[in-house]
Amino acid sequence: MINLIASVPIVSIVTFLPLAGAILLVFIRAGSARTVRTAALAVSLLTFAAALALFFRFDGTSGLPEFVERASWLGRGLDYHVGVDGISLFLVLLAAFLTPLALLSSWRAIDDRVKEFSLFMLLLETGMIGVFVSMNLFLFYVFWEAMLIPMYFLIGIWGGRRRVYATMKFVLFTMFGSLLMLVAIFALHAAYYRATGSYSLTIADLAATPFAPGLQTWLFLAFALAFAIKVPLFPLHTWLPDAHVEAPTAGSVLLAAVLLKMGAYGFLRLGLPLFPQAAAAFAPALSILAVVGIIYGGLMALVQKDMKSLVAYSSVSHMGLIMLAVFSLNFEAMEGALYQMLNHGLSTGALFLCVGILYERTHTRLIADYGGAAARMPVFAGLFLTAMLASAGLPGLNGFVGEILCFFGIFAANKVLAALAVSTVVLSAAYLLWLYRRVMQGPLKDPGDMRLRDIDGRELACLVPIIVLIVFMGLFPGTFLRKMDASVSRFIDAIKNKPAAAMTLDRAVPPAARLER
Amino acid sequence: MSFMALAPLLAVVAGALAALLLEAFLKRKNHELSATAAVVSLLAAGFFIVRSWGLEIGYFGGRLTLDPLALLLMAVFVVAAALVILMSLVYAPRRDINLGQLCGLLLIAVAGLMIMVSSSDWLVVFLGLEVLSVASYALTGSRRNDRASSEAAAKYFLMGSFAGAFFVFGLAFLFGTSGALGFAASLREGSAPSGLPVASAVGLGLILTALFFKIAIAPFHMWAPDVYEGAPTPVTAFLTFAPKAAGLAVLFRILAPLLDRGGAASVLGPAVSVAAVLTMFWGNLAALRQKSVKRLLAYSAIAHSGYILVAVVSGDGPGLVFYVIAYLFMNVGAFGVLAAMSGQGVERTSLADFAGLGRRHPWLAASLAVFLLSLAGFPPTAGFLAKFYVFSAAVAKGHVLLVVAAVLASLISVGYYLKVIVAMYMQDDASETSLEQNDPALWLVIFLCLFGVIQLGLWPGNLLTLIRQAFSVPF
């Protein structure tokens, strides 16, 4: 029995269940929107259940990838190779957790072409999870690019007035970076072959192979560009406010909560371990960009008139902090960054859901149109405030834990940057609480057709799980950090100890040969 | 040395004659009979191709050799011709095109293609090229009452003859210096900077120009968009694919040995690279501005020759063949959808005709979306893997800048491919027209192409094995 359970390819199931669901949806009659919605929700819930099984059965003491599945696919190192470690596990969970909530949140908001919408949401889920579980660079790239397609349609079909512009900008920006990354992947493939005489694009193999400093620089820059656009790092963030403002609520939630994490995850999984010397050389420059992003994003958020673009700029600011922590290259900062990635996913996801709930009632997102909404929507006000405070890093909620860890790490690395970065605490409290005051408090504004009913059962079902998790992660961070520890420290050791290659690649010792000695 | 080496060719020629004669002499016009004869002869040719696999048989003193590259491409042309005939079954009568003649001419073109790809002899290649060209001119003009079609044919004929003259002129130089007609024998080492004798270098330059004309490589592509737009849609699907594939294969046969030689490589490598980059950018930038989907695909076809040329530059035979096969499915599929859009006497190719197609005809729109995404190179489609193989081989050979240019060019292409998708899915229904969809053969073509695009994107294993076997490359 135990063997039977152990032989279940659980990572593949989590990854491809949504895809199977999407194929199933094709055969459901488009007319019955309710059936389509229910089926999509059921599939995403099943996926989440499978992801939970992954979480509970994950050991995490070795720091090595677990549940590894490997099969040869296209030959020459282009293998199907998946698994999770303490770094990717939680991002998989995040994606699997938020997709059903996003589907639920669009129950009423999307009533045009429901079947296509649900289909693209499920395809997006497969893409997101696939990126996190890939242990082969080729597979990673396939998911990374394929995921653009559903997001392109989600923004372009169900988005706001300038949706076509926003979605084209999103795709072209992202592709610009990822195509150059693709060239770097080719170069890695060739360099690995020259160094070892065999083909591999397994990330662990590449990380164990020393590359010449000159090559590292170029390759790192290509990878860093792709990831920095995705994060987004200042000044490559300009696609983000457009995409967020135009995207439907469900799209915004997944975009902010999961897609942005892919950039940071890319640095963690590829940028740093594959090219540690180059990464260390560029870390100061990237850190400065991250700090600029923190302050710029915060200041921009202060002056936004649209709630969604306010949350979008707050993402730029918060992702800046995460990147700064990543570039600090020490254990606390890295674990903080990872934790903060989850926090940002939850709190920003919740904020976008809240904005969506308000928008469904009033059909406006302009802050100036609101006022005193708390009087009509007391329950909603409480949840909205909790999400904001989590985002601002109030002690007791999850944001605090992540930020504290980040700041410890950043401070150890660079005191000046740490001092500048702390401004995020002040700034985020300012723009979020000011937003709350303008929208929820003060005299009730009711321009005509504003029907500010309080939150209903379905919306509660969307928001409450996130809020509960926010509180839980604030009070019991150990539950999660424990499973990350071993992987993160392994990761730090690996990048600290990876040997620099001799100047020419040809003299590099193949890792296999080194093991044999 | 075996007569069997001629079997595929003879099968196709017999089919062509049968189709044309049935058309001419049958009292009661029965176009389907001609089409059936054509398809049967293609099946026979396919059978002979499979039988010849691995035998390396030749005829005419080895001037016609069925090596694996030739056989693979011949099989591809047979499949392409069969798809195009299926596409035309309903399309041709609706558009006032004589189906029997179309099939006959198509098979003659296939015969020309087969000759081209199975020879390493200048004269035989020229013979194949001209057989192909004459058939192509007639195919282009097969809508006799349509001015665009006739104009396209005239343009194609003038430009093609001009290119043919270049070819013969260059051939004279080569034969004059070396006294040989084989590729390798006539391109011996010499004293010119290109590592060839001066006259041979001039001759080779002229021949390359002629081939660039025929494949529509920038800056010799000017005729192509008008011809591709003017020709009937199934013919366009064929012309944007088959002559290019054959021409690029010939280029590969000529250039691959030369690019391994120091002197020749130092001149030819950069020259062909520049042509490749020009072609990609020219095709893609021009496609950005098009309002007609057919013309947009015409320019995209030009850009794709640029990508395939990258495989020629890096001497990557397997990549070239894989790209060509992937391109067959995505290109024929896209034009298939275009053919499905046309109705009795109307051609619906402008972007406005595609507005709201995602609502009116979800399956048709979804198919076109898949083909376009594949052309743009998104995974998990054949287009992505094709680009992956060609570009990665080029980087491994050190052509990093060329590949950077190529990926930037394909970024531009994403802009216009997505423009069509925007029209289909993100714009409101402008036209109320619904399509007459009683064309099962066309649906079969679209389905097969979809299958090909997905299959080659996800599990190309068998085909890759075959291709790598053909080039005896390790796995």
Interval B206-240: pLDDT, tens: 999 999 999 999 888 888 999 999 889 999 999 99
Best B422, B462, B467 member to test A by mutation, with max A CBs in 10 Å, is: B422
| H or E, element range at B351 | none
Cβ–Cβ of B415/A172 closer than 8 Å?
yes
Whether the Cβ atoms of residue A290 and residue A232 lie closer than 8 Å to each other:
no
Whether the Cβ atoms of residue A356 and residue A105 lie closer than 8 Å to each other:
yes
The answer to whether the pTM exceeds 0.90 is yes
The amino acid at residue B19 is: A
CA–CA separation, B116 and B250 (whole Å): 7
> In 3D, which of B127, B113, B122, B98 has the Cα closest to residue B49?
B113
Determine phi and psi for A456, rounding to 5 degrees.
Answer: -100, 180
A-chain residues near B373 (CB < 8 A): 149
- Exposed e or buried b per residue across A200-224, where buried means at least 16 C-beta atoms within 10 angstroms of its C-beta: bbbbbbbbbbbbbeebbbebbbbbb
For residue B355, the enclosing domain spans: 3-470
Nearest CA to CA, how far is B377 from chain A (Å)? 10
CA–CA separation, A421 and A264 (whole Å): 17
Give per-residue pLDDT as tens, A226-274.
999 998 888 888 999 899 989 999 999 999 999 999 999 999 999 888 8
Instruction: Give every CB contact of residue B435 below 8 A, 6+ residues apart in sequence.
Output: B340, B341, B343, B361, B364
CA–CA separation, B38 and B19 (whole Å): 6
Nearest CA to CA, how far is A123 from chain B (Å)? 12
Cβ–Cβ of A190/B403 closer than 8 Å?
no
Nearest CA to CA, how far is B353 from chain A (Å)? 18
- A205: tokens are 């193999």
User: Is the predicted pLDDT of residue A334 greater than 60, yes or no?
Assistant: yes
Nearest CA to CA, how far is B356 from chain A (Å)? 11
Cβ–Cβ of A183/B418 closer than 8 Å?
no
- Smallest Cβ distance to A171: which of B359, B418, B461? B418
- Domains in chain A: boundaries: 275-475
Q: How confident is the model at residue A448 (pLDDT cuts 50, 70, 90)?
A: low
Q: Report the largest interatomic distance among the alpha carbons of chain A, rounded to a whole angstrom.
A: 79
**Angle, vertex CA B40, rays to CA B38 and CA B42, nearest 5:** 70
Nearest CA to CA, how far is B319 from chain A (Å)? 14
Between B7-25 and B68-94, two packed helices, what is the crossing angle to 10 degrees?
20
- Is B138 among the domain residues? yes
Nearest CA to CA, how far is B103 from chain A (Å)? 37
- B398: tokens are 């050190």
B-chain residues near A30 (CB < 8 A): 362
Give per-residue pLDDT as tens, A22-57.
999 888 877 788 888 999 999 999 999 999 998 888
Alpha helices in A255-306 (DSSP H): 260-266, 272-274, 276-302
Q: How confident is the model at residue B200 (pLDDT cuts 50, 70, 90)?
A: confident
Mean pLDDT is lowest, of A144-153, B140-149, B341-350, for: B341-350
Nearest CA in chain B to A175: B411
ipTM: 0.91
Coil, strand, or helix at residue B342?
coil
Nearest CA in chain A to B373: A149
CA–CA separation, B269 and B373 (whole Å): 31
Nearest CA in chain B to A192: B396
User: Is the predicted pLDDT of residue A515 greater than 50, yes or no?
Assistant: no
Query: How far, CA to CA in Å, does A119 sit from each of A36, A94, A122, A211?
Result: 9, 20, 5, 42
Determine phi and psi for A304, rounding to 5 degrees.
Answer: -75, 145
> In 3D, which of A168, A132, A107, A193 has the Cα closest to residue A338?
A132
How far does Cα B433 stand from its chain's mean position?
32
- Smallest Cβ distance to A183: which of B395, B461, B464? B395
CA–CA separation, A91 and A128 (whole Å): 9
Cβ–Cβ of B391/A182 closer than 8 Å?
yes
A-chain residues near B422 (CB < 8 A): 156, 164, 168
Whether the Cβ atoms of residue A474 and residue A397 lie closer than 8 Å to each other:
yes
Nearest CA in chain A to B464: A74
- Is B475 among the domain residues? no
A-chain residues near B280 (CB < 8 A): none
pLDDT of A299: 93
Whether the Cβ atoms of residue A40 and residue A103 lie closer than 8 Å to each other:
yes
- Smallest Cβ distance to A149: which of B362, B373, B391? B373
Whether the Cβ atoms of residue B375 and residue B417 lie closer than 8 Å to each other:
yes
Count of domains forming chain B: 1
User: Is the predicted pLDDT of residue A5 greater than 60, yes or no?
Assistant: no
Cβ–Cβ of A183/B464 closer than 8 Å?
no
